[in-house]
Amino acid sequence: MGRLLEVTDLQVCFNTPEGVVHAVNGISYYLDEGETLAIVGESGCGKSVSVMSILGLIPTPPGEILSGQAHFHEQDLLQLSERELERIRGAEIAMIFQDPMTSLNPVLTIGLQITESLMLHLHMDAEQADQHAAELLELTGFSQAAKRLGDYPHQFSGGMRQRAMIAMALGCSPSLLIADEPTTALDVTIQAQIVELALKLRDQLGMAIIWITHDLGVVARMADRVLVMYAGFIMEEASVFDLYKDPRHPYSLMLLSSLPRVDQRRSGKLRPIPGSPPSMLTESKGCPFAPRCSYVIETCRVTNPPLQEVAPGRRVACWVDVGKGE
């Protein structure tokens, strides 16, 4: 299994009237072919910006990529022109966004929105594109798919709109699918259906997935590896099994401790993380999690720890190892 994507020292900021927002602060990670990588963390921690920036999807200005590389199939995405990126977006890398109602064009039929990329990237004629679009809708769970091509987004439920977005993303058989909190706006039953659909399609098509979420239950179900982000930094990287069995960063530990568990329903209240995330307008000299951390030592307040390997495939940015280390 070869390396599909490798991001190195990515720094992204936004210049606003209030000051410079330090959205992503020098993160590095990789993704192998066919692998599912989850990026988790609280809202505003830089999860979405970290992937949208490498595809040229952040507004510039106010957004600005200060440094970094993003090698995909041995080409640096950050060095490509807009036209070169357009050939990759939708064809080799596809993206599903959080709210399908705002991502889909309300005045165009679902069929037109799916066939557009098929004709652009695969050079199909209208008849071929319509046939393939119907097949894609069937693949994602639509009945009488050919008849639904002429319907508009408002004629679909939230779950069906998200399925249509997935069908659109899969049109050109991408090697990488990026899903940006695709189940947030859906009820729990539909969420589970979308996750199962993504897993089925991943196995059928052999594509890699980056799944951005704050839902750790979804992560446990579908991810191979997890990046835990906080305030624009990666706090911990681990396999999904290792993260849930033995979290090594205080933030990871507290995230997992705040989840409701069936086996602990009689043992008392949930343990929320105290305090609030830091302002991204100021650069933290120490660890950004230090003000909320119960394991904090003086070094944490003055020096931000580097992300270091503590075991094979395991990286942690912390001066205090809170894990069992088994």
pLDDT bracket for residue 277 (50, 70, 90): confident
For residues 50 and 37, is the Cβ–Cβ distance under 8 A? no
pLDDT for 160 beyond 90: no
For residues 237 and 206, is the Cβ–Cβ distance under 8 A? no
Q: Which residues contact 168 (CB under 8 A, 6 or more apart)?
A: 94, 113, 114, 117, 136
pLDDT for 88 beyond 50: yes
For residues 99 and 30, is the Cβ–Cβ distance under 8 A? no
Lowest mean pLDDT among 48-62, 267-281, 311-325: 267-281
Tokens of 6: 């490798």
Question: For position 280, what pLDDT does the model report?
Answer: 87
pLDDT digits (tens, 9 = 90+) for 29-87: 999 999 999 999 888 888 999 999 999 998 888 989 999 999 998 899 999 999 899 88
pLDDT for 268 beyond 60: no
Q: Which residues contact 116 (CB under 8 A, 6 or more apart)?
A: none
When pLDDT is averaged across residues 200-214 and rounded to a whole number, the result is 87
Q: What share of the chain in percent tops pLDDT 70? A: 93
Question: For position 226, what pLDDT does the model report?
Answer: 95
- Could you tell me which residue, 165 or 316, shows the higher pLDDT? 316
Query: For the chain, what is the mean pLDDT?
Result: 86
When pLDDT is averaged across residues 295-303 and rounded to a whole number, the result is 91
Question: For position 267, what pLDDT does the model report?
Answer: 55
When pLDDT is averaged across residues 302-326 and rounded to a whole number, the result is 85
Distance CA 26, CA 313 (A): 19
When pLDDT is averaged across residues 206-217 and rounded to a whole number, the result is 88
Half-sphere exposure of 212 (CA within 13 A, CB side): 22
pLDDT bracket for residue 326 (50, 70, 90): very low
Question: For position 42, what pLDDT does the model report?
Answer: 86
Question: For position 12, what pLDDT does the model report?
Answer: 94
Instruction: Please provide residue 179's backbone torsions phi and psi, each rounded to the nearest 5 degrees.
Output: -115, 115
When pLDDT is averaged across residues 155-173 and rounded to a whole number, the result is 83
pLDDT for 157 beyond 70: yes
Q: What share of the chain in percent tops pLDDT 90? A: 36
Distance CA 141, CA 96 (A): 17
Q: Which of 100, 98, 101, 72 is nearest to 87 (CA)?
A: 72
Q: Which residues contact 164 (CB under 8 A, 6 or more apart)?
A: 100, 104, 110, 113, 114, 137, 140, 142, 153, 156
Tell me how crowded residue 40 is: count the other CB atoms within 10 A of its CB.
25
The pTM of this model reads 0.88
For helices 158-170 and 110-121, angle between their N-to-C axes, nearest 10 degrees = 10
Q: Give the strand pairing for 308-311 and 63-72.
A: unpaired
Over the range 80-107, which residues count as b (16 or more CB within 10 Å of their CB) and which as e? beeeebeebbbbbbbbbbbbbeebbeee
pLDDT for 203 beyond 80: yes
pLDDT for 234 beyond 70: yes
